[in-house]
Amino acid sequence: MIRAILIHPDPRLKKLCDPVTQITADLRKLAADMLETMYDAPGIGLAAPQVGVTKRLLVMDCMKLPDAPRPLVLINPAITWASADLATYEEGCLSIPDQYAEVQRPDKATVRWMDLEGALHEETFGGLWATCVQHEIDHLNGKLFIDYLGLMKRQMITRKMEKLKREMAREGR
Ligand code: NI
């Protein structure tokens, strides 16, 4: 089931999300819905608060290859190491549609997480995967990529999103 993606500004996108304490049927459904919603958008990552659930869960797939997908579900992800080397990517966000800006982050990041079977994983991500996983973990801490930008740029994007939300409300979307 495709879920509605919250658009910034929304108080649920600014929350420190709660750790997942139990893998329930509801959580499995949420993860499956989030993957479906992400692929449909289309996007390469989606965090639970973006669909209004303030729990520490995210999904991602940076393969961008329909015939070779790598759907990942990360529960309670934590960055255990980040490189001193930085990389700059032009980032976007499904909660901030059609707005892009360059953000600098560590070039590589090691992340530990639990999967839907309760198994622990640890993997070092690089390139686009590293940028994406850091962007999504930021969401779990109530942080958006525009928070890395200067005040003027951030306010300009926020005003555009407020206008978009008014238009969407008017059109009943
Ligand atoms: Ni995002």
**Count of beta carbons in the 10 Å neighbourhood of residue 153:** 13
When pLDDT is averaged across residues 38-52 and rounded to a whole number, the result is 97
Under the banding of pLDDT at 50, 70 and 90, the label for residue 64 is confident
| Ion ligand 1 contact residues with beta carbon within 5 A | 93
When pLDDT is averaged across residues 42-61 and rounded to a whole number, the result is 97
Q: How many angstroms does the Cα of residue 102 sit away from the middle of ligand 1?
A: 14
pLDDT at 173: 76
Average pLDDT, the chain: 96
Per residue in 131-161, pLDDT tens? 999 999 999 999 999 999 999 999 999 999 9
The answer to whether 75 and 95 have CB atoms below 8 angstroms apart is no
Per residue in 96-122, pLDDT tens? 999 999 999 999 999 999 999 999 999
pLDDT at 172: 83
Q: Which CATH superfamily is domain 11-170 in?
A: Peptide deformylase (3.90.45.10)
- Phi and psi of 145, rounded to 5°? -65, -25
- Residue among 36, 136, 162, 171 flagged as catalytic: 136
For residue 102, indicate whether it is catalytic. Answer: no
pLDDT at residue 167 above 90? yes
Quote the percentage of the chain above a pLDDT of 70. Answer: 100
Quote the percentage of the chain above a pLDDT of 90. Answer: 95
Q: How many angstroms does the Cα of residue 161 sit away from the middle of ligand 1?
A: 14
Amino acid identity for residue 51 in this structure: V
The answer to whether 58 and 50 have CB atoms below 8 angstroms apart is no
Nearest of 99, 5, 2, 1 to residue 50 by alpha carbon: 5
Residues 6+ apart with CB under 8 A from 91: 100, 101, 102, 103, 131, 135, 145
| Beta strand spans in the chain (E) | 45-47, 57-60, 72-82, 86-93, 96-106, 108-114, 120-126
